[in-house]
A and B are shown apart, each in its own frame.
Chain A
Amino acid sequence: MKVFKAALAASLLVGGSLALTGQALAEWPERAVTIIVPWSAGGGTDATARAVAQELEERFGQPFNVVNRTGGGGLVGHITIANSAPDGYTLGVITIETTMFEAQGLPGAAPENFTLLGRFNADPIGINVRADAPYATAEDLIKAVSANPGALKASGANRGGLSHLAWAGLLNTLGVDPEASPWVASDGSAPAMQQLAANAISIVSTSPAEAQSLVDAGEAKTLVVMADERSSLYPDIPTAGEALGVEWSPLPFRGMAGPAELPEEVVTKVSEALAEITEDEDFITMMESRGFSVAYQDAETFTQTVMRSRDALVEAMQAVGLAQQ
């Protein structure tokens, strides 16, 4: 009986404390913060988000719990962040797709729906094939795609996601019909790499970091990165300019954001913490060991970058037929 009474008392205590959480914030954060990641566990966004969340946890002394809300090509997670209560206890990591949803006729997750807190990472997209594929260079691959339209399937994210746009845009810039390499919608890069390893698809469009473990395992190889200059982390991978002689460099970003109209206190605190984290030696080493670059921008600069990328990407989406307007 005593055991039971104690259990009852404990459960009422838990219930009671949960009921009180709606109170006004004294000093943020006074309880656990949820970090929503719109992409699947194990992908690049998830990995970097978990690294950042852990650093935030150490700095603020409260748990920062990462929750993966996947689906709809990142839309579910983005909308969840945008629609959460603007009390600073639900934040999230947003990706470049936020600039693309509206042009695809999906409202509710545009940059205006968020309070942008700061960028911590920006890595270009690479084109990856199986290690045993008969293409030594990106040029060979493009020739194979235009010679056999429809035969080489590509994946890396949902239809209309940045990975898709990067690949379709590359083909378009080269004067090849983007539909010559049909897109297979996946939930992120991890399932797509699994499909590549299982020899179900031929091409994965994703950052070299996300392909790294399978490249190291001798299962995959990265032919080209869509960037203006070579990455210091992957100095051997040629750029689109070098390998194919074209200018095409959509640069995806990863940054912290919350719903619109977050309290100023939260914006300042997270933005400042991100600045510290991105200069932390351990964090930089950890990110680089996994192949992710560290690229900090404060809340204001990040907002400008996001707005600029939107203009450029919507134009590209119209060119390859991914925009609704």
Chain B
Amino acid sequence: MGLDVLIPALSLVLQPQVLVVVLLATIYGLFIGAIPGLSATMATALLIPLTVYMDPVPAIAAIVATTAMAITAGDIPGVLLRIPGTPASAAYVEEAYALNLKGKAQLAMGIGIVFSAAGGLVGAIILLVGAPILARAALNFSSFEFFWLALLGLLTSALVSTNAPARGLFSLCLGLLISTVGLDVTSGQPRFTFGVIDLYGGVSFIPTMIGMFAFAELLRGLSSAGTTPPVPERQKLWSNPFAGVGRMFRTYPWSFVRGSGLGAAIGALPGVGGDLAAWIAYGMSKRLSKTPEKFGTGHEEGLIEASSSNNAGLSSAWVPALVFGIPGDAVTAIAIGVLFMKGLNPGPQLFVDNPTMLTAVILTFALANLLLIPIGFFAIKGARHVLAVPRGLIVPTILVFCVVGSFAINNTVFDVGVMLAAGLVAYLMESNRFPIAPVILGLVLGPILERNFIMSMQIADGNLLGFFGRPVSAVLGVIVCAVVLIPLIRSVLRTRSRSTADIGAS
């Protein structure tokens, strides 16, 4: 891409109208993202009527800025109240909340925002430079590869992210079991629905997620088993909430590089996308860390890797959408509609016919991610006050948010019941030291895993070796087997030679 394209594209982006739209969209995304239960998809859908009256670049910029900020802001209630804003932030909500309990809420939010912005920038650059190549590579992924990726995501969460793999595996299986409730993908037969029509569509994961994290936390507080985050010391009004974040780039440069690279790669795969990236990134961070024992106790490393991957994946989800018109998620599906409306029909022709406009659209990604930092600054300033509120007032408020958030997803009271039940189950699980995050991941990835497994088996005529029959699929299969077998082999070796066990374990 030459300067002859880049400079006119820049002049399309650096218009007052575009800048104002991006600013407003970022603020709007901040509010949607910070309120648990209101999703980035909902925010985008509500934007569409406004985009009708805009030029193509501000219209797309509005969508991009809203989603980037909404997903980033989803980390804020995660840090403060242990309510993940999105399935992706569920991957590291425990870690972020643990930092808050150590009195480092501001640092946790600062990491979330700065590394999200940095990861998003990397994603935007990759989109700008390599979209057509990346899209072609993503097109080579069939159900065989998607199956292995989903399995890899599940295993890293159960075996790597938790300190007790057996308990993690139990939680994961519970999540997978819940994901089988509803009509079977292949045959359309109802499973585990017990004649309840509301269960035909399955157990929705947002009410479950709100219940398991937020409502369970309230229950723990009531039974006084929970720990209250310390109230931060009164700081000067203009103290820098990003203090200490810059140091993180120097301490953990590889976490950032790996996280954004992984996010960009996985985000480009249609239908799997950003949620999965954060989970794999967090798991990988722990596996490759020099201090894996610190994970889960309020350690910055995993947070950095997962937040960077989150937003990098958000940008690269647009790769298959722009190049082949295949949307990676509901947000890009809506955005494709907007592109068509503006006469920018997605497809390889767009790259040939209108490179300036396309480059301008991609540059808005960079702009939106840069804006995360100043807006995030004020968000952290404001959010700090939540911790100073007495518990007696904050508990009923969270409960209201839990109920409203669960109701708002499908507009059914049934989901409020799902939220309450999930909260009770999670409370019982946590008081017996079973981790919660793998349940949510099982629920999100279960249908993807099952669908791709069935499709692959139909293609391979029921031959399991078919999962190793394609080059990429075979490589992924070997990685998955290694993730499962290496800890097993290691523990066998350890029992054989107890004397060297301590060295081998690291």
Interface residues of A (CB under 8 A from B): 1, 3-4, 7-8, 11-12, 14-15, 18, 34, 41-42, 46-47, 50-51, 54, 57-58, 63, 65-69, 71-73, 75-76, 79-80, 83, 89-90, 101, 104, 106, 150, 153, 155, 158-160, 182-187, 190-191, 193-195, 197-201, 212-214, 216-219, 286, 289-290
Contact = CB atoms under 8 A, between A and B. Distances in A.
A124 B93 CA distance: 48
A262 to B, nearest CB: 17
B201 A80 contact: yes
A90 B410 CA distance: 10
B324 A217 contact: yes
Contact of A182 (B325, B397, B456, B458): B458
Given A186-B455, A195-B143, A72 B389 contact: no
Given A50-B337, A80-B201, A194-B142, A187 B451 contact: yes
Per CB-CB distance, the 5 closest pairs between chain A and chain B, nearest first, are A200-B142, A72-B183, A213-B325, A41-B333, A198-B142
B326 interface: yes
Contact of B333 (A1, A11, A50, A69): A50
B45 A3 contact: no
A200 B457 CA distance: 11
Contact of A68 (B184, B330, B349): B330
6 contacts: A42-B326, A42-B327, A65-B46, A214-B324, A217-B324, A290-B340
Interface string B152-186: 00000000000000000000000000000011111
Interface of B: 42, 45-46, 48-49, 52, 139-145, 182-189, 197, 200-202, 270-271, 323-327, 329-330, 332-334, 336-337, 340-341, 343, 345-349, 382, 385-386, 389, 393-394, 397, 400-401, 403-404, 407-408, 410-411, 447, 451, 454-456, 458-459, 461, 470
> Which has the most chain B C-beta neighbours within 10 Å: A15, A63, A71?
A71
Contact of B139 (A80, A184, A198): A198
A191 B188 contact: no
Nearest to A285: B343
Given A72-B183, A200-B470, 6 more contacts: A4-B389, A15-B400, A65-B42, A69-B201, A195-B142, A200-B144
A79 B187 CA distance: 15
Contacts of A46: 333
Nearest to A191: B271
Contacts of A90: 411
A59 B470 CA distance: 51
B324 A75 contact: no
Contacts of A1: 389
A216 B347 contact: yes
A127 B183 CA distance: 28
Given A46-B333, A185-B185, A194-B139, A79 B200 contact: yes
A184 B455 contact: yes
A165 B408 CA distance: 37
Given A4-B393, A41-B327, A159-B187, A213 B141 contact: no
Nearest to A12: B400
Given A4-B393, A41-B329, A54-B337, A185 B197 contact: no
A159 B186 contact: yes
B200 A213 contact: no
A54 B386 contact: no
A217 B323 contact: yes
Contacts of B343: 289
A18 B408 contact: yes
B52 A73 contact: no
Interface centre among B330, B394, B451, B455 (most CB of A within 10 A): B455
A11 B182 contact: no
B16 to A, nearest CB: 27
A254 B393 CA distance: 50
A75 B185 CA distance: 10
Q: Which of the listed residues A66, A73, A194 has the most CB atoms from chain B within 10 Å of its own CB?
A: A194
Nearest to A69: B201
Contacts of A73: 188
